[in-house]
Chain A
Amino acid sequence: MIRGFVVTTTLFDKLWQEHEVMTLSERQSLLYVDRIFLHERTGSAALNGLLEHNRGVRRREHAFCTMDHIVDTLPGRSDDTLMPSGRDFIVATRGAAQETGIKLFDLPDPDQGIVHVISPELGIALPGLSIICPDSHTCTLGGLGALAWGVGSTEAEHALATSTLRVTRPRTMRVTFEGALPCNATAKDLILFTIRELSGAGGAGYAIEFAGPAIQALAVEARLTLCNMTTELSAFTGLIAPDQKVFEYCIDRPYAPRGEAWDQAYAHWHGLQSDEGARFDLEHVLDIRTLKPQLSWGTSPQHAIDWDGVVPHVIDAPDDATGVAWQRAQDYMGVSGGSHLSDYSVDAAFIGSCTNSRLSDLRLAAEYLSRTGHRVANSVKALCVPGSGQVKRAAEAEGLDEIFRSAGFEWREPGCSMCFFAGGESFGDGVRVASTTNRNFEGRQGLGVRTHIASPLTVVASACAGHLVADTTA
């Protein structure tokens, strides 16, 4: 937008412009890709495609790979996994990474972990970088002010071969939160509430910038949690203007710049924000002053309610299609309209995933256990899966593993674990799980598994109560 003689620009537009190699048409550009991260589930296909076409990785120093999706999270793990043919994915990825010469964070590597946990941790993701990964939750890294988005395997292959992608420019949206985040609500509650308000398709075709005092007050890891689930709005990506907190977070990370390079980056990063008066294609303002912990009741992340709210009645659906979807979801989940979620007992609890497996998430849950002295209810199977080797070691150094273990949680090795069901470990048909993950689709965590998404605090409280709950003051 041009105001007087001053051109005002959004953060997204600045990042787009900075990475634009050339325009291809009115809405499509060739964008430079600064970092490519792969994992063994979909990255193996990208690397294999590359090798089959006799192409190499154009800049192998900018490409990375980890093992997270299929690897076992049981102690003493090896390449053998419970997932049928899982070993093939691991072995193929290792071979292709070696052949193409890219850095692999393999099983014994102390930095191995979930891709979106380790890339900020290692300073591979930094403010302003363009980052792609064949994984829909790549938008997580928007929490650092990076331009990060998920792609398919073929697009990843394109980026590996050319250091670029042909991208259709999304429109810009700003979601501004009014008020401060109430003390018992977390970034997870904030994003679940946003998805509930905007709908699961509410971000389709948009790059979303999150703004407002509550965002500025969020810790860096909480920003990663918030941006992680922007993909559940079907948005291109989500991002937050980087600030001093982010810059301090990045200092001394293994792949972050040092010395003079740091000074240059630091100076540059200060310009990464939307100009005052910049125009967005769409603006939403959400009042969060009375935000309560959120829990999902159905089979889409948009099926979320306040923890003490009621499951909606199908007859109250705004249209027929929604009514049909609600009925299907309630049948699958075994919940009925008008009931409270606290009426339902839980059989399992899962703390982990690229959404909520960072040190601050584990601290939050462990602090609840220490403060209340509660233990996991006898009937509940509870797992805590740290997001990375670094998170695991840091948690153990603080004694968090002991708190989890003595409260009845299993303490696992880093990985995606049971966030999704790949044919290996699962909870079992009809099992109700309180889960810090990001998707509650039918069968996502196993055939017939009923997933309720919530924050680590709500999950740990539910595990101890033996039923869904968010009264974390107990």
Chain B
Amino acid sequence: MTPFTQHTGITAPLLRDNIDTDTIIPSREMRSVSRSGLSEGLFAPWRYHDPNARTLNSAFVLNEAGFSGASILLSGANFGCGSSREHAVWAFLESGFRVIIATSFATIFRNNALRNGLLTIELHSDQIEQLVEWVSRDPQAHTLDVDLEACTIRHDPHCDVETFSVDPNARDMLLQGLDEIGLTEQSLDEITAFEKRDQARRPWVYLGID
């Protein structure tokens, strides 16, 4: 996983609550078994007037010239709810996004994001509105600077920086770009010892191999 330490980027507001993963990447856009080839499908239901013909909906924020090249998204409550499809996170990353800032996230989406180096930040809605106000005035110039080491978001130089809190485990993983599986493999002895104790306690759990 690519480490995440700091990121400065153009920021697009999409202030809706309950944006679900079917909307972020519809099932019909998941066309191959691989984790790539998904960027065209990102927000397909909203980005295109006709998703089949790919005719652009110019009113959708990510199609606006001002927000082109956006790599940070601002959104509402319960972001990423619905299906567990990790393709939603892969589609964001492939489209150049590194940070999603929302008032809250659905757990599976947040976990998927973390495991792929996409930073999710929870802020209060008034903080998000302040950020929206700032970036909307001149999106290409008014970028946000997200620092995971310091847990800050720097924006309008005349204002204070926003600070955010993030789960310490998640922060370590992102900062170091850790491969979680590799990390857990270091505890294989503990896992084997657990199984030995557990097998005595719950023998029916351990199935034989056919």
Binding site for B on A (CB under 8 A): 18, 21-22, 24-25, 27-28, 30, 32, 34, 41-42, 44-45, 48, 53, 55, 60-62, 83-85, 88-89, 92, 103, 126, 128-129, 134-136, 150-155, 157-158, 161-164, 166, 168, 170, 200-201, 204-205, 231, 234, 236, 255, 257, 261-262, 264-265, 268, 300, 321-322, 324-325, 420-423, 439, 441-444, 447
- How many inter-chain contacts with C-beta < 8 Å in the A-B complex? 183
Cα distance, A245 to B196, chains bound together (Å): 31
Contact of B108 with A by CB under 8 A: yes
Contact of B31 with A by CB under 8 A: yes
Asked whether B33 lies within 8 Å of A439 as measured between CB atoms, the reply is: no
Asked whether A200 lies within 8 Å of B81 as measured between CB atoms, the reply is: yes
0 or 1 for each of B4-45: is its CB under 8 Å from A? (1 = yes): 000000000001111010110011101111110000000001
Contact of B138 with A by CB under 8 A: no
Whose C-beta in chain A lies nearest to the C-beta of B209?
A: A61
Asked whether A62 lies within 8 Å of B108 as measured between CB atoms, the reply is: no
Asked whether A60 lies within 8 Å of B209 as measured between CB atoms, the reply is: yes
Asked whether B78 lies within 8 Å of A200 as measured between CB atoms, the reply is: yes
Cα distance, A321 to B107, chains bound together (Å): 22
Contact of B89 with A by CB under 8 A: yes
Cα distance, A222 to B83, chains bound together (Å): 22
Contact of B157 with A by CB under 8 A: no
Cα distance, A157 to B185, chains bound together (Å): 13
Cα distance, A421 to B45, chains bound together (Å): 13
Contact of B71 with A by CB under 8 A: no
Asked whether A152 lies within 8 Å of B33 as measured between CB atoms, the reply is: no
Cα distance, A441 to B195, chains bound together (Å): 42
Asked whether A262 lies within 8 Å of B106 as measured between CB atoms, the reply is: no
The smallest beta-carbon distance between A293 and chain B, in angstroms, is 24
Known: A325-B17, A422-B28. A150 touches B184 (CB 8 A): no
Contact of B32 among A22, A60, A85, A154 (CB under 8 A): A85
| A170 contact set on B, CB distance < 8 A | 107
Contact of B203 among A24, A32, A201, A264 (CB under 8 A): A264
Q: How large is the interface on B (under 10, 10 to 19, 20 to 34, 35 or more residues)?
A: 35 or more
Contact of B65 with A by CB under 8 A: no
Q: List, sorted by A's number, 27 A–B pairs whose CB atoms are closer than 8 Å.
A: A28-B169, A30-B190, A30-B191, A34-B205, A41-B30, A45-B33, A60-B209, A92-B33, A126-B204, A136-B84, A150-B108, A154-B86, A162-B188, A170-B107, A201-B18, A204-B78, A204-B106, A234-B78, A264-B204, A268-B202, A322-B17, A420-B83, A422-B27, A423-B28, A423-B31, A441-B22, A443-B45
Asked whether A21 lies within 8 Å of B104 as measured between CB atoms, the reply is: no
Selected interface stretch from B56-64, B92-100, B109-117, B141-149: B109-117
Asked whether B45 lies within 8 Å of A136 as measured between CB atoms, the reply is: no
The dominant DSSP class at the B interface is loop
| B209 contact set on A, CB distance < 8 A | 60-61
| A21 contact set on B, CB distance < 8 A | 187, 190-191, 194
Contact of B181 with A by CB under 8 A: yes
Contact of B76 with A by CB under 8 A: yes
Interface-centre pick from B106, B111, B115, B204 (highest chain A CB count, 10 A) = B204
Asked whether B78 lies within 8 Å of A136 as measured between CB atoms, the reply is: no
Nearest first, the 8 closest Cβ-Cβ pairs linking A and B are A423-B28, A257-B204, A152-B86, A152-B112, A201-B78, A136-B84, A261-B204, A422-B27
Asked whether A136 lies within 8 Å of B184 as measured between CB atoms, the reply is: no
Asked whether A53 lies within 8 Å of B181 as measured between CB atoms, the reply is: yes
Asked whether A265 lies within 8 Å of B204 as measured between CB atoms, the reply is: yes
Whose C-beta in chain A lies nearest to the C-beta of B194?
A: A21
Cα distance, A303 to B157, chains bound together (Å): 42
Asked whether A103 lies within 8 Å of B210 as measured between CB atoms, the reply is: yes
Asked whether A22 lies within 8 Å of B187 as measured between CB atoms, the reply is: yes
Cα distance, A83 to B29, chains bound together (Å): 11
Asked whether B77 lies within 8 Å of A151 as measured between CB atoms, the reply is: no
Asked whether B76 lies within 8 Å of A321 as measured between CB atoms, the reply is: yes
Asked whether B17 lies within 8 Å of A204 as measured between CB atoms, the reply is: no
Known: A325-B18, A443-B45, A447-B51. A42 touches B82 (CB 8 A): no
0 or 1 for each of B153-181: is its CB under 8 Å from A? (1 = yes): 00000000000000111000000000011
> Apart from A200-B18, A257-B204, A439-B83, what 12 extra A-B contacts exist at CB < 8 Å?
A34-B205, A85-B31, A150-B108, A152-B85, A164-B191, A201-B18, A201-B78, A300-B18, A421-B28, A441-B20, A441-B82, A444-B22
Cα distance, A444 to B25, chains bound together (Å): 11
Contact of B133 with A by CB under 8 A: no
